[in-house]
Chain A
Amino acid sequence: MRILIRTIALVFVLTMQLSPLAAQQPRQQEEFTPIDQLPPQEQLPAAPLLVGAYAFVLLMLFGYVVMVSRRLSTIRSEVDRLDADVKRIGKG
């Protein structure tokens, strides 16, 4: 197990160090400009990426809510069961 963890850590750190860091000075954006303030540009086929991003977000949020609600109902039924048991033992 220890060796597996070490190997994974090694791969992680290795890829971090060996990826080519950009030597050029990247252009940084200082502000966003709405497109209608500039001459018209053609449509960029970015729809799959956009839809994918939104779908991922909504799916993950929904999945988390489902997970937590299920856990809550398990605990609630467990508590109810124990309460019923305690009452039963109390009476009998």
Chain B
Amino acid sequence: MLRAILLIVRKDLTVEVRSRELAYTTLFFAVSCVLVFAFSLVQEGRAAEGVGAGVLWMAIMFAGNLALGRTFERERQSETLRALMLVPAPRPAVYLGKLTGIVLLLLLTEAVLVPLVALLFEAGLLSHPFWLTSVVVTGTLGFAAVGTLFAAMLVRARSRDVLLPVLLYPITVPVLIAGVRATVAIAQPEFEVEVVRFWLMLLVAFDVVFITLALWTFEPVMTD
């Protein structure tokens, strides 16, 4: 099964490296989001207090939504999703393969976003890189876990563009809240490990629940 996952990831990477469409568009969109927030929230030349964390996670969620939609749109157009479902690999492998691809794409975007937000919003985000990385990775994983499932589900549905955010945002609000609270705690001048650890544990719990649920539901939902 691991082999199947790796093959799927390799396929996606190969396609992506050739055109780089997804990476560039997602990155550009995320950066423009941050700029829009920066311009809207700046008062008297300085950003409002404590919004850096919120802006970071909002940008991740919006960019993630776009990336998910585009990834599966590409599959739909080339009808490769059907081909993937016919592959003699366990269905969960297809899900995990796509999930890995999405997470890699989002992590790449976040590598650019985090320093940008730290710079524009004067947020002390970079003071504890280990904790920040853990929080960002677990949060992205939780968001992508739900997003991959829903985006795959909606591939053949009507109004799929609009329905993805409608379904995705309410479910991932807990991940958003935990991610923002943890990031705010990291950016504080007086850093409290307990608070960060609490929110991080919550994120890990969400990840476990979401990925488990997604693995259970992927097969029945994708088969006719």
Q: Give me the interface of A with B, judged by CB distance under 8 Å.
A: 1-2, 5-6, 9-10, 12-14, 16-18
- Once A and B bind, how many residue pairs between them come within 8 Å at the CB atom? 32
| 0/1 interface trace, chain B 163-176, chain A, CB 8 Å (1 if under) | 00110010001001
Instruction: Give how many B residues have a beta carbon under 8 Å from the other chain's beta carbons.
Output: 16
Which residues of chain A are within 8 angstroms of B61 by Cβ–Cβ distance? Answer: 13
Which residues of chain A are within 8 angstroms of B169 by Cβ–Cβ distance? Answer: 9, 12-13
Q: Taking the nearest CB of chain A, how far is it from the CB of B183, in angstroms?
A: 11
Which residues of chain B are within 8 angstroms of A1 by Cβ–Cβ distance? Answer: 161-162
Which residues of chain A are within 8 angstroms of B161 by Cβ–Cβ distance? Answer: 1-2
- Residue of A whose beta carbon sits closest to that of B180: A17
Q: Which of A2, A5, A13 contacts B58 (CB 8 A)?
A: A13
Q: Provide the main secondary structure of the chain B interface.
A: helix
Q: Report the separation of the CA atoms of residues A14 and B33 in the bound assembly, to the nearest whole angstrom.
A: 13
Q: Are B62 and A17 in contact (CB under 8 A)?
A: no
Interface residue? B54 (CB, 8 A): yes
**Chain B residues numbered 178-212 whose CB sits less than 8 Å from any CB in chain A:** 180
Interface residue? B153 (CB, 8 A): no
Q: Report the separation of the CA atoms of residues A18 and B51 in the bound assembly, to the nearest whole angstrom.
A: 7
Q: Can you list 29 A-B contacts with CB-CB less than 8 angstroms, sorted by A residue number?
A: A1-B161, A1-B162, A2-B161, A2-B162, A5-B162, A5-B165, A6-B62, A6-B65, A6-B165, A9-B62, A9-B165, A9-B169, A10-B58, A10-B62, A13-B54, A13-B58, A13-B61, A13-B169, A13-B176, A14-B54, A14-B58, A16-B173, A16-B177, A17-B51, A17-B54, A17-B58, A17-B180, A18-B48, A18-B54
- Residue of B whose beta carbon sits closest to that of A12: B169
- Residue of B whose beta carbon sits closest to that of A21: B181
Which residues of chain A are within 8 angstroms of B165 by Cβ–Cβ distance? Answer: 5-6, 9
